[in-house]
A and B are shown apart, each in its own frame.
Chain A
Amino acid sequence: MDKVMLEAGARSPEVSFDFAANVYCLKGESYPEDVNEFYGELMDKLEQHLESLSSATVKFTFEFVYFNSSTAKILMGLFELLDETANRGNTVEVIWVYQEDDDNMQELGEEFCEELSHARYTLAVVA
């Protein structure tokens, strides 16, 4: 269970979760038929792992081009989990990457990141 690496599917993002290094990334498009089927087990594993950490450094990168509203709900839960992890004494760094002219993804990044009280965050533009 050290790593979960999934290539992007037709409607699902690329997943790169390195549990040993605590470096995580979700990238691409996300509008799967059943969000719980795609994210359920993945998020359970992540939650279990993050809850076991103390004084660790966690880095989570979001690099979405598009996600649907059901995915947004998963992301809100994930942001809550990351903030709780930081609140327990871990260093959590969230990086939200969006494309240069993508105002919508920038705005979504700001809206999700303003939920964080304990984790640090950066919004990063790519050309």
Chain B
Amino acid sequence: MFASSMLEFKKYLTENGIVFCYSGYMTEDILHGIGSALKKKLDLEEVDRKVSKAAFAIFVEQVQNIIRYSAETVPQDHDASMRYGILSVGYAGKNIFVSCGNAVDNATAEKLKSLLEKIKSLDRDGLKALWKETLKGEPPEGSKGAGIGFIDIARQAKGGIEFDFVRLDADNMFFTIKAYI
């Protein structure tokens, strides 16, 4: 019985072009493991090296964002906790996409929304200027990384980015971003 439900799940992924999918708590070891498998898969498919490098780079930024920012953690309210996220890599037509989703609190959702709207409105030169400005500036308050991952994703995603939010509960939203290479 559960073989057929697993198969249904696999069919769903396949029908949506998904080649890799991970859902669960993210760690740097998982990042390294899936990252290596992703590189190997793209090599085997003889994907253009520029495309495969961009896919890998976007993958790393998305996973490290989850590791640092996801609001869904075990144990709760603990700084050294593991963070939950879902990640997929696949094909939309001939284009590779890398997509992830995770919970964010309301305040973070607002900040992300305005940052991503700004990023989407910029052309290549505008993105480069924002990238440099952010590299030279102080990291935003509460940021554990350089706060620059999303700009980097947009610069590498030659096919553009999409993002969306849906409400989880009173305090949190579910955030997702999809980057096309």
Contact = CB atoms under 8 A, between A and B. Distances in A.
Interface string B47-61: 001100110110011
B135 A104 contact: no
Contacts of A69: 61, 145-146, 148-149, 151-152
Contacts of B118: none
B56 A111 contact: no
Interface in A80-127: 80, 101-104, 111, 115
Interface string B120-142: 00000000100010011001000
A111 B146 contact: no
A68 interface: yes
Contacts of A111: 128, 132
Nearest to B150: A69
Interface of A: 10-11, 31, 33, 35, 66, 68-70, 72-73, 76, 80, 101-104, 111, 115
Interface of B: 28, 32, 49-50, 53-54, 56-57, 60-61, 64, 67, 128, 132, 135-136, 139, 145-146, 148-149, 151-152, 156
